[in-house]
């Protein structure tokens, strides 16, 4: 038996003993995801047990080094773990901007003290992070950000406003882009700082979305004191870190894996004709087309990740994956709404689980906006991969 | 030809434009939604619409209507679409008036048409039973019983069903699900014993209901049109509904587009208006082209409704197909080009996306229409 086979056996046995049955059922909506954090209320004992068990193994972040709360697994081992989890339909134990975004950036750019302070609580789901990038005047043109950060000798002072800050009202800490040099060209005066959302002067106001939910906020900073050791990387060199983090964010948003095959969902809803075919032939063709694209997209994701050197990011290809994956996900939800017909239009009540499908459908419209819009991804592909003149 | 509005039609269109922008702008829909208004539209507005002759747009003067015609009905619907105006216009002035015009006895017309035109009676069509529009699949039964019928079954997506004073119920008196033969239409008082109505809150904040019928007794004179031969009248009703919704979507999609192009002309990133990026210009120009195509399709559908309602099925299906897909695109592009603000409830563009989602589904989505068109054409 190879080492990997032995590892698979070990994982299988461990999962069998430690993954609660409840955590082996599909999530009903994204509220079922576990986000962790200081004030987090677990949805169930099973959810809490599952997080604790996985965190103890370091398997919430399988490839992070052990000293930072990770599992220290090789890429191959992590794949085994993922496939074994998928086999028993285990839920992800933890959804976390810390894992998807900040962690990789700290691993690459953070100093030892920062890694020791922040990575283990992320891995254990104890501290929940939010992303302070966008501002009212700096969306696609992120580098135009104007939140001011002044050097006050032994500390920094932050003043300004962020917007679209997802879960700012629930997060414990924020990783935040600030301007530390107003004289330099716009990319050269940005710094990357971390601070506690409970610091005096921080205020998060929820914004209501078209889905009727309010997962994101306007976030205001008034004379917020930030300790100097919370600067990541060098002063005025934050843009490199910001961009590196974005490539990870994009891989995460682009990853639509784990969903039920669209053909399965749709077949149950519009019904079949006399020949046992989906009653709507046009929908049938579109579903098949989407299945082809989803299949090939997942393969591409796997291929690109396999090609990338261990620990390295995908660079500009993350834009291709983000663009394609999010547009695909939007298409998938359009088809699900088409298939659900009248039922999918309900917004409240038990029958529709309070309009879960309609609200999810609306939420997916943000996929091609968050983390850089589709247009921005296409611009990046044109410039950095195709090297188009003038791009 | 109908592709260019006459002076008179232009006047009606402008009058409707001013009326809805003034009396029923998007703000009104927001208020109805946020106050969880029980009626779901403003009854005062409906009374004014009746005064303007809008409620009786398809009703002849002998029955108290303004008899403006279908082109005018479409022009009114378009303006309602622009403003996301909630009103029983489609359910009552279009669907019910068509049902009575085509299938009503002299008595029934005399009793109901003046009340529709006067804005006193709200009617709702109880047709859909499944997830998708499919009249032939009607399963609800109407069995002969005593000197009348007994209705059993359930209906969904009944526009204005929870506030209707009368229901027009499509039920099966013979044949089986899948046949267009064997259908019969009934005029039913929703307060009749055995009827349970549940208002369903919809994604577009407009009115809809699910209605259950359990051993509901109606008299023989409740039949609208002929027993077992309801299909012809039903087709006329559905056709009128499609044409009105296509016209509404022209307004909704067109307004979503207008708001979007306005926004990208103003919003600045990278030191310039985002409308200066060719990536957005071309998609806007594309949508402009599609919407122009849509306008022709709608105008032709409306014209053919006025000229020859029976021969209008094809152009109406074509218009509904075209508007279904183009308005969807206008909504989707609208949100995307607005960026983050497009995802907020504060901006109106999301409300347009939602209404379009519902309206394109009514009386069959684009796929359904295309399937019908192909069948009518024989391929
Ligand atoms: C659901 C959601 C969650 C989010 N979460 C966070 C978060 O947690 N933290 C955070 O910091 N931000 C977050 N964002 C913000 C997101 O990153 C921005 O909305 C996004 O970068 C776009 O910026 P904007 O909204 O200002 O749109 P704009 O930049 O104003 O864009 C408007 C339109 O113009 C287009 N456009 C702009 N520039 C160009 C160009 N050069 N060429 C072609 N087209 C162009 C855009 O693609 C878009 O279609 C979130 C957004 C959403 C929708
Ligand atoms: C069948 C045919 C008949 C023609 N008849 C005539 C005629 O009768 N009289 C006459 O004067 N000319 C005629 N032309 C020439 C035609 O006007 C040019 O081919 C056309 O303007 C494109 O210019 P170009 O060939 O130099 O291509 P380019 O301008 O080099 O364009 C190449 C590609 O780039 C795209 N492109 C160019 N500029 C932009 C831009 N700003 N934004 C986005 N994309 C862009 C184009 O769409 C094209 O796909 C004809 C061409 C054809 C193919």
Residues B87 and B159 in one domain: no
Does B2 reside within a domain?
A: no
Q: Report the separation in Å between the CA atom of B204 and the middle of ligand 1, taken as the mean of its atom positions.
A: 25
Pairing of strands B209-219, B195-199: antiparallel
Left (φ > 0), alpha (ψ -120 to 50) or beta: where does B84 sit? left
> Locate tokens 């983050």: which residue?
B340
Residue A257: pLDDT above 60? Answer: no
Place of tokens 């071309």: B282
Confidence of residue A234 (pLDDT cuts 50, 70, 90): very high
Interchain proximity B343–A366, CB inside 8 Å: yes
- Asked, colleague to colleague, whether A3-95 and A129-236 share their fold, the answer is no
B178/B113 same-domain check: no
Q: Atom 38 (ligand 1): residue with closest C-alpha?
A: A140
Range of the structural domain that residue B87 is part of: 7-121
Q: What percent of chain B has pLDDT over 70?
A: 100
Rounded distance between C-alpha atoms, residue B261 and residue B265, angstroms: 6
DSSP codes joined into one string, A82-126: HHHHHHTTPPPS---HIIIIIHHHHHHH--HHHHHHHHHHHHTT-
Catalytic residue among A135, A249, A294, A327, which?
A: A249
pLDDT digit string, tens, across residues A301-347 = 889 888 876 656 678 899 999 999 999 999 999 999 999 999 999 99
pTM recorded for the entire structure: 0.94
Please judge whether A362 and B336 are an interchain contact, meaning their C-beta atoms are less than 8 angstroms apart: no
Query: Do B372 and B242 sit in the same domain of this protein?
Result: yes
d(CA B265, CA B275): 5
Confidence of residue A273 (pLDDT cuts 50, 70, 90): confident
Ligand 2 centroid to Cα of residue B295, in Å, is 29
- Partner-chain contact A365 B336, CB within 8 Å: yes
Integer distance in angstroms from the first to the last C-alpha of chain B?
28
Domain count, chain B: 3
Element (H, E) at A251: helix A238-254
What's the pLDDT at A29?
A: 67
Tokens of A269: 């809803």
Same domain? B173 vs B216: yes
The mean of the pLDDT values for chain B is 97
pLDDT band for position B15 (cuts 50, 70, 90) = very high
Last residue of a domain, one of B91, B121, B151: B121
Whether the CB-CB separation of B93 and B58 falls below 8 Å is answered with yes
In CATH terms, is domain A255-385 a member of 1.20.140.10?
A: yes
Asked if B302 and B336 sit in the same domain, the reply is yes
Residue A258 confidence (pLDDT) = 52
d(CA B316, CA B244): 9
Tell me how far apart the terminal alpha carbons of chain A are, to the nearest angstrom: 53
Same domain, yes or no: B372 and B268: yes
SS3 state at A388: coil
Looking at the domain assignment, is residue B361 inside a domain?
yes
Among B187, B210, B228, residue at a domain's last position:
B228
Do B141 and B60 lie in one domain? The reply is no
Q: Which of A134-138, A152-156, A256-260 has the lowest mean pLDDT?
A: A256-260
What is the b/e burial string over A323-338, where b = at least 16 CB atoms within 10 angstroms of the residue's CB? bbbbbbbbbbbbbbbb
- Ligand 1 pocket, Cβ-based, cut-off 6 angstroms: A 130-134, 139-140, 164-166, 216, 366, 369-373, 375-376, 379; B 267, 269-270, 274, 277, 279-280, 336-337, 339-340, 343
User: Per residue in A362-384, pLDDT tens?
Assistant: 999 999 999 999 999 999 999 99
For residue A180, the model assigns a pLDDT of: 97
Nearest to B12 by CA among B73, B56, B80: B73
- Residue A126 CB neighbours (<10 A): 17
Instruction: Output the DSSP codes for A157-178.
Output: EEEEEEEEEETTTT-SEEEEEE
Cβ atoms of A217 and A207 closer than 8 Å: yes
Test A207 with B370 for CB contact under 8 angstroms. no
- Asked if residue B145 and residue B203 are part of one domain, the reply reads yes
Q: What is the CATH number of the domain that holds B270?
A: 1.20.140.10
Q: Contact A359/A213 with Cβ under 8 angstroms?
A: yes
pLDDT-derived band at B156, boundaries 50, 70, 90: very high
* Ligand 1, atom 19, residue with closest C-alpha: B340
Q: Is residue B1 part of a domain?
A: no
The pLDDT value given to residue B329: 98
Using only the alpha carbons of chain A, give its radius of gyration: 22
Distance between CA atoms of residues A360 and A351, nearest Å: 16
Domain covering A3-95 in this structure, CATH number: 1.10.540
Q: Where are the domains of chain A?
A: 3-95, 129-236, 255-385
Q: Which residues pair with B218 in a beta bridge?
A: B149
Domain assignment of residue B358, yes or no: yes
Residue B359 and residue B269 share a domain? yes
d(CA B129, CA B87): 23
Shared domain for B244 and B185, answered yes or no, is no
Residue A221: which of A268, A157, A167, A281 has the closest Cα? Answer: A157
CA dihedral A209→A214→A215→A219, nearest 10 degrees, is: 100
Identify whether B30 is part of a domain.
Answer: yes
Q: Which of A274-283, B165-174, B237-246 has the lowest mean pLDDT?
A: A274-283
Say if residue B105 is in the same domain as residue B156: no
Q: Are residues B165 and B110 in the same domain?
A: no
- Among B161, B80, B64, smallest CA distance to B119 is for B64
Mean pLDDT of A122-134: 97
Residue ending a domain, among B228, B255, B272, is: B228
Instruction: Give, using CA atoms, the residue closest to atom 53 of ligand 1.
Output: A366
| CA–CA separation, A196 and A167 (whole Å) | 14
Q: Is domain A129-236 given the CATH code 2.40.110.10 in the classification? A: yes
- Does B144 reside within a domain? yes
Name chain A contacts of B332, Cβ cutoff 8 Å.
330, 365
* Inter-CA distances, B314 with A189, B62, B103, Å: 63, 31, 21
């Amino acid at each position: 038996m190879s080492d990997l086979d032995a590892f698979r056996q070990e994982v299988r046995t461990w999962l069998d003993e430690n993954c609660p049955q409840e955590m082996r059922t599909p999530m009903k909506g994204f509220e079922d995801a576990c986000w962790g954090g200081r004030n987090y209320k677990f949805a169930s004992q099973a959810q809490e047990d599952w997080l604790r068990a996985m965190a103890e193994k370091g398997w919430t972040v399988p490839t992070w080094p052990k000293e930072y709360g990770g599992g220290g697994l090789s890429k191959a081992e992590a794949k085994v773990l993922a496939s074994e989890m998928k086999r028993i339909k285990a839920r992800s134990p933890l959804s976390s901007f810390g894992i998807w975004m900040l962690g990789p950036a700290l691993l690459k750019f953070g100093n030892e003290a920062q890694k020791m302070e922040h990575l283990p609580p992320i891995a254990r789901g104890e501290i929940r992070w939010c992303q302070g990038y966008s501002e009212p005047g700096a969306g696609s043109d992120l580098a135009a950000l104007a939140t001011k950060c002044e050097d006050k000798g032994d500390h920094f002072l932050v003043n300004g406003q962020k917007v679209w800050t997802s879960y700012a009202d629930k997060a414990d800490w924020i990783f935040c882009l600030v301007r530390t040099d107003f004289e330099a060209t716009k990319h050269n005066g940005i710094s990357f700082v971390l601070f506690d959302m409970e610091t005096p002067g921080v205020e998060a106001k929820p914004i209501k979305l078209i889905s009727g939910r309010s997962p994101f906020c306007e976030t205001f900073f008034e004379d917020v004191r930030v300790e100097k050791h919370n600067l990541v990387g060098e002063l005025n060199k934050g843009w490199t870190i910001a961009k590196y983090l974005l490539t990870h964010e994009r891989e995460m948003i682009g990853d639509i894996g784990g969903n039920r095959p669209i053909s399965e969902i749709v077949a149950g809803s519009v019904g079949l004709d006399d020949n046992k075919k989906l009653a709507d032939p046009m929908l049938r063709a579109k579903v098949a087309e989407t299945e082809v694209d989803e299949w090939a997209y997942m393969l591409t994701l796997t291929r690109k990740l396999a090609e990338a050197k261990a620990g390295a990011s995908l660079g500009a290809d993350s834009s291709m994956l983000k663009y394609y994956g999010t547009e695909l996900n939007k298409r998938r939800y359009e088809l699900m709404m088409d298939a659900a017909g009248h039922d999918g239009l309900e917004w409240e009540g038990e029958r529709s689980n309070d309009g879960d499908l309609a609200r999810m459908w609306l939420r997916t419209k943000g996929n091609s906006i968050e983390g850089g819009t589709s247009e921005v991804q296409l611009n990046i592909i044109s410039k950095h991969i195709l090297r188009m003149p003038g791009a | 030809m109908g592709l260019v509005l006459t002076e008179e039609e232009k006047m009606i269109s402008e009058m409707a434009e001013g009326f809805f922008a003034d009396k029923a702008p998007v703000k009104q829909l927001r208020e109805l939604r946020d106050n969880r208004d029980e009626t779901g539209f403003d009854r005062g507005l409906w009374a004014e619409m009746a005064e303007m002759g809008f409620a009786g747009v398809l009703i002849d003067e002998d029955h108290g209507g303004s008899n403006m015609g279908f082109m005018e009905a479409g022009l009114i619907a378009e303006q309602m679409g622009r403003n996301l105006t909630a009103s029983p216009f489609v359910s009552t002035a279009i669907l019910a008036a068509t049902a009575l015009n085509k299938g009503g006895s002299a008595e029934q017309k005399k009793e109901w048409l003046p009340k529709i035109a006067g804005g006193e009676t709200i009617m709702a069509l109880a047709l859909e039973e499944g997830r998708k529009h499919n009249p032939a699949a009607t399963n609800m039964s109407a069995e002969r019983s005593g000197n009348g019928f007994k209705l059993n079954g359930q209906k969904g997506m009944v526009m204005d069903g929870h506030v209707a004073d009368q229901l027009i119920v499509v039920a099966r008196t013979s044949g089986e699900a899948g046949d267009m033969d064997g259908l019969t239409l009934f005029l039913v008082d929703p307060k009749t014993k055995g009827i349970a109505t549940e208002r369903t809150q919809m994604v577009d904040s407009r009115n809809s209901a699910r209605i259950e019928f359990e051993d509901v007794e109606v008299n023989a004179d409740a039949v609208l049109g002929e027993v077992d031969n309801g299909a012809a009248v039903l087709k006329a009703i559905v056709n009128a509904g499609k044409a009105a919704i296509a016209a509404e979507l022209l307004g909704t999609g067109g307004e979503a587009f207008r708001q979007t192009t306005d926004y990208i002309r103003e919003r600045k990133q990278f030191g310039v208006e985002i409308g200066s990026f060719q990536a957005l210009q071309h998609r806007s120009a594309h949508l402009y082209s599609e919407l122009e195509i849509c306008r022709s399709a709608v105008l032709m559908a409306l014209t053919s409704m006025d000229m020859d309602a029976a021969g209008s099925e094809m152009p109406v299906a074509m218009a509904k197909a075209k508007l279904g897909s183009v308005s969807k695109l206008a909504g989707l592009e609208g949100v995307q080009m607005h960026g983050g603000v497009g995802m907020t409830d504060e901006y109106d563009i999301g409300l347009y996306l939602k209404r379009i989602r519902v309206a394109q589904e009514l009386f069959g989505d684009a796929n359904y229409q295309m399937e019908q068109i192909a069948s009518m054409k024989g391929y």
